Amino acid sequence: MELLKELRELTGAGIADVKAALDEALNDKEKAIEILRKKGQSKVLKKADRVAKEGIVESYIHAGGKVGVLLELNTETDFVARTDDFKSLAKELALHIAASNPLYVNISDVPAEVVEKEKEIYKEQAKDSGKPDAVVEKMVEGKLAKFYEETCLMEQGFVKDPEKKIKDLLSDSVAKLGENIVVRRFSRFHLGN
């Protein structure tokens, strides 16, 4: 019973799901967590197509008043938008944006001309290395992936836990709250810029 309670607190999953995962894992805590995470991810994928029109606009002003963020975070219902977990997620995301200064929400938001320009720069840099074309192409792809990690919110490592990407933080919240959650847009303001 204690293990059931502990897993509920750790994962946010329902009693029936936790019990089923423990049975399947033969009461192995780590295995049960893995099972719950896999089920949660499949639920997240099912919810991704659902429309998220409710939500909140969160603001964050960094100490000293020199950096501020406005963030629109959406979910499916007003009920979930009013929960403490949802509001806490919005605050965490706004703080992250203030600290990490992303330029886009998703990779798909990066304009094609920006991607092409970056590829061009990376190709020039890689050609100077004297490596074969196949290796140069891999180098360009690697640098482009790094560019996305630096400029796209969903690809960035969370400032409070760099091992976890923002998209994983959102997925965990979707699994916990049971509704699709979408970062619609954000604006970051920096005094003098």
Spell out the domains of the chain, with CATH numbers in brackets.
2-47 (1.10.8.10), 54-105+152-190 (3.30.479.20), 111-150 (1.10.286)
Q: What is the pLDDT along the chain (193 residues), one digit of tens a residue?
A: 777 777 776 666 677 888 888 888 888 888 887 777 777 654 544 555 556 678 999 999 988 889 999 999 999 888 989 999 999 999 999 999 999 999 999 999 999 999 999 988 888 887 777 777 788 888 888 999 999 999 999 999 999 999 999 999 998 888 888 888 999 999 999 988 6
Torsion of CA 169, 145, 95, 68, to 10 degrees: -150
- pLDDT confidence of residue 36: 73
In whole angstroms, give the CA distance from residue 2 to residue 10. Answer: 12
